[in-house]
């Protein structure tokens, strides 16, 4: 593989996603950390939340952890929301710190659908396109592990309500100082549940054909675009992942249609999980290269990228930017390490979702003198 000189490598050079100028093509992927203030109403913005994102502001673009659009959209303990004034104020402290450090930030707006439990939502029953519980998936609550109940199949009125919640979340994101939003359409959560024929058994305007199953996703996109403009909107997709018991019999047809429609709407980017989320990249059934060619916005590649793969993907034009997840957990200065070819800290899975700074803000950066010499 022919890797150009680092100072000429596009991965480390400025770029543009929609109307957002970024200092480099390295994206911090959304990472659930379960450190919002539940007692205050799932509010982010504590000192450690601010410091966590500030530390990682060497990324050209940061995508926030998934932030639920409503109380019923919550699927995990201590995840932040973006539907209340207190949550908006909490996010303001984070976006201000990120901007002061020279990066840009998107809010990932999220509804988990059936991947939840009433103990996490104040007693509300989970929503889904169809009344099908996710086989083999459990919810983690303050009372311990719980089997996920059969969800409520959403009515047309409830669908419209959730579309409105996404629109409100986008407006709140702009109030909170974000540069735009990423709609979470991946990993077996609500939008993905509507897209797939394994979870969507509806026989109305939102189920059956590929176009009907894509309708919910596109109504959300249209609502968010109407609120903040297409140049500040993207969506995360995972055509092949089996995560959260999701499946589709013809992912190529499903996601080919969806991406064609996204392209017509002129959204800023698609953020593509290539292969199984957190697993193999080599799953058959979807042509990512064709998707990249058919979409005129930015293509952000994700899943299993290392330094060499990322440099090659951006240099060759297969991607406009590359998102890193777990590597950013343990390496707050990941872009500097990638630029220098420095070794990476390894993340501690035991601290991914635990309260407090351990495994969150205490991973060491490169020696500051070495970084200064590099600059």
Range of the domain at 55: 6-374
pLDDT digits over 252-268, tens only?
A: 999 999 999 999 999 99
Q: Tell me the C-alpha distance between 131 and 199, whole Å.
A: 9
**Exposed/middle/buried for 309, CB within 10 Å: 0-12, 13-18, 19+?**
middle
Closest CA to 217 of 273, 245, 258: 258
Q: What is the CATH number of the domain that holds 310?
A: 3.20.20.70
- Catalytic site residue 299? no
Residue 316 lies inside a defined structural domain of this protein: yes
Residue 113 lies inside a defined structural domain of this protein: yes
Considering its fold, how many domains does the chain have in total?
1
Residue 93 lies inside a defined structural domain of this protein: yes
Whether 277 has a pLDDT exceeding 90, the answer reads yes
With H, G, I as helix, E, B as strand and everything else as coil, classify residue 20.
strand
Q: Which residues pair with 37 in a beta bridge?
A: 43
Q: For the chain, what percent of residues have pLDDT higher than 90?
A: 95
The residue that leads in pLDDT, 282 or 34, is: 34
The predicted pLDDT at position 5 comes to: 63
Q: Tell me the C-alpha distance between 231 and 104, whole Å.
A: 14
Residue 39 lies inside a defined structural domain of this protein: yes
The predicted pLDDT at position 6 comes to: 63
Residue 271 lies inside a defined structural domain of this protein: yes
Mean pLDDT over 282-288 rounds to 95
Rounded to two decimals, what is the model's pTM? 0.96
Q: Tell me the C-alpha distance between 190 and 199, whole Å.
A: 10
Q: What are phi and psi of 137, to 5 degrees?
A: -110, 135
Residue 1 lies inside a defined structural domain of this protein: no
Q: Tell me the C-alpha distance between 276 and 40, whole Å.
A: 35
pLDDT digits over 191-210, tens only?
A: 999 999 999 999 999 999 99
Residue 367 lies inside a defined structural domain of this protein: yes
Candidates 52, 53, 189, 288; catalytic one: 189
DSSP letter (8 states) at residue 85: H
DSSP letter (8 states) at residue 164: H
Q: Which two tokens stand for residue 211?
A: 């176009």
């Amino acid at each position: 593989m022919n890797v150009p000189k680092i100072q000429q490598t596009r991965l480390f050079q400025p770029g543009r996603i929609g109307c957002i100028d970024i200092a480099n093509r390295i994206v911090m992927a959304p990472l659930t950390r379960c450190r919002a203030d539940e007692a205050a109403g799932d509010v982010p913005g504590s000192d450690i939340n601010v410091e966590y994102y500030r530390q990682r502001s060497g990324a050209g673009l940061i995508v926030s952890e998934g932030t639920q659009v409503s109380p019923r959209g919550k699927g995990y303990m201590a995840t932040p929301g973006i539907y209340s004034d207190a949550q908006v104020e909490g996010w303001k402290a984070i976006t201000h710190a990120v901007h002061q450090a020279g990066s840009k930030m998107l809010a990932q707006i999220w509804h988990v659908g059936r991947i939840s439990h009433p103990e996490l939502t104040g007693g509300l029953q989970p929503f889904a396109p169809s009344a099908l519980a996710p086989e083999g998936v459990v919810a983690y609550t303050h009372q311990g592990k719980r089997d996920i109940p059969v969800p409520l199949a959403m009515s047309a009125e409830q669908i419209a309500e959730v579309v409105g919640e996404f629109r409100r979340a986008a407006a709140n994101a702009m109030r909170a100082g974000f540069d735009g939003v990423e709609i979470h359409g991946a990993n077996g959560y609500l939008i993905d549940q509507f897209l797939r024929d394994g979870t969507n058994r509806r026989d109305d305007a939102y189920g059956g054909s590929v176009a009907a199953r894509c309708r919910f996703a596109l109504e959300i996109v249209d609502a968010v675009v109407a609120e903040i403009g297409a140049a500040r909107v993207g969506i995360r997709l995972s055509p092949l992942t089996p995560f959260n018991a999701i499946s589709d019999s013809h992912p190529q047809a499903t996601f080919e249609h969806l991406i064609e429609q996204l392209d017509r709407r002129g959204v800023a980017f698609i953020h593509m999980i290539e292969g199984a989320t957190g697993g193999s990249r080599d799953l058959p059934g979807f042509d990512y290269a064709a998707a990249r060619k058919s979409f005129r916005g930015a293509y952000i590649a994700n899943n299993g990228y290392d330094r060499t793969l990322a440099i090659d993907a951006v240099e060759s034009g297969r991607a406009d930017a590359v998102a890193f997840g777990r590597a950013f957990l343990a390496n707050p200065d990941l872009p500097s390490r990638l630029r220098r070819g420095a070794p990476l800290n390894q993340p501690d899975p035991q601290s991914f979702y635990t309260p407090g700074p351990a495994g969150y803000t205490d991973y060491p950066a490169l020696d500051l003198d070495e970084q200064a010499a590099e600059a």
